[in-house]
Structure 1
Amino acid sequence: MDKDFWNERWEKEEIAFHMNEVNPMLIKYFPELFLEKRKRIFIPLCGKTLDIEWLLAKNYRIVGVELNELAIKSLFNQLKIEPMILEIDNFIIYKHKNIDIFVGDFFNLSETILGKIDLIYDRAALVALPENMRKKYSAHLLNITSGASQLLLTYEYDLNMMKGPPFCVDSMEIRNYYIDKYSLILLEENENLPSGLKRKSNGIEKVWLLKNDKKV
Structure 2
Amino acid sequence: MHHDFWHQRWQNQQIGFHLNAVNPFLSTHFHRLNLQAGQRVFVPLCGKTLDIHWLLAQGLQVIGSELSQLAVDALFIDLKLTPEITQVGPLMHYRAANIELFQGDFFALSQAQLGPVNAVYDRAALIALPDEMRTLYSQQLMKITGMAPQLLISFEYDQSLVPGPPFSVSKQEVSAHYEAHYQCTALATLTMTKGLKGQYPAEETAWLLSPR
1:208 maps to 207
The letter for the 1-side match of 2:119 is L
Which residue of the partner structure matches residue 107 of structure 1? 107
Deviation string for 1:157-195 (max 9, x for gaps)?
Answer: 0122212100000011111110110011100011247x7
Is 1:58–2:49 an aligned residue pair?
Answer: no
Question: In the superposition, relative to structure 1, how do residues 58 and 132 fare at CA in structure 2: closer, same or farther (>3 Å)?
Answer: same
* Equivalent position SS for 2:42: strand
What is the aligned partner in structure 2 of residue 71 from structure 1? 71
Distance (Å, rounded) in 2 between the aligned partners of 1:131 and 1:73? 29
Contact kept? 1:127, 1:169, Cα under 8 Å: yes
Structure 2 counterpart of 1:98, one-letter code: N
Cα deviation for residue 95 of structure 1 reads 0.5
Structure 1 residue 57, shift from structure 2 partner: 1.0
Aligned match of 1:39:
39
TM alignment of 1:185-200, pairs within 5 A:
185-192=185-192, 197-200=196-199
Residue equivalent to 1:87? 87
- 1:186-207 deviations in Å (ceiling 9; x for gaps): 00011247x7824231110011
Residue pair 1:92, 1:102 contacting (<8 A) in 2 also? yes
SS in 2 for 1:30: helix
Residues 16 and 196 in structure 1, CA contact (< 8 A), matched pair in contact too:
no
RMSD: 1.3
Percent of aligned positions that are identical: 44
TM-score normalised over the length of structure 1: 0.95
Alpha carbons 1:162, 1:200 under 8 Å: kept: no
User: What are the ranges of 5 or more consecutive residues in structure 2 without an aligned counterpart?
Assistant: none
Structure-1 separation of matches of 2:156 and 2:17? 16
| TM alignment of 1:20-39, pairs within 5 A | 20-39=20-39
Residues of 1 paired with 2:83 and 2:111: CA distance?
23
Pick closer, same or farther for the CA change 1:196–1:65 going to 2, 3 Å: farther
1:9 alignment counterpart = 9
Q: Which deviations, in whole Å up to 9, do the C-alpha atoms of 1:127-166 show, x marking residues without a partner?
A: 0000000000000100011100000000000122212100
Paired amino acid for 2:95: K
Matches within 5 A, 1:130-149: 130-149=130-149
Change (3 A) 1:185 1:8: same
Q: Deviations over 1:107-139 (max 9, x none)?
A: 001101110100000000000000000000000
Distance in 2, Cα, partners of 1:198 & 1:187: 24
Determine helix, strand or coil for the equivalent of 2:94: strand
SS in 2 for 1:41: strand
SS of equivalent residue, structure 1 residue 13? coil
Q: Alpha-carbon deviation of 1:103? A: 0.3
Deviations 1:7-61 (A, max 9, x none): 0000000100000011111011112322111110000000000010111111000
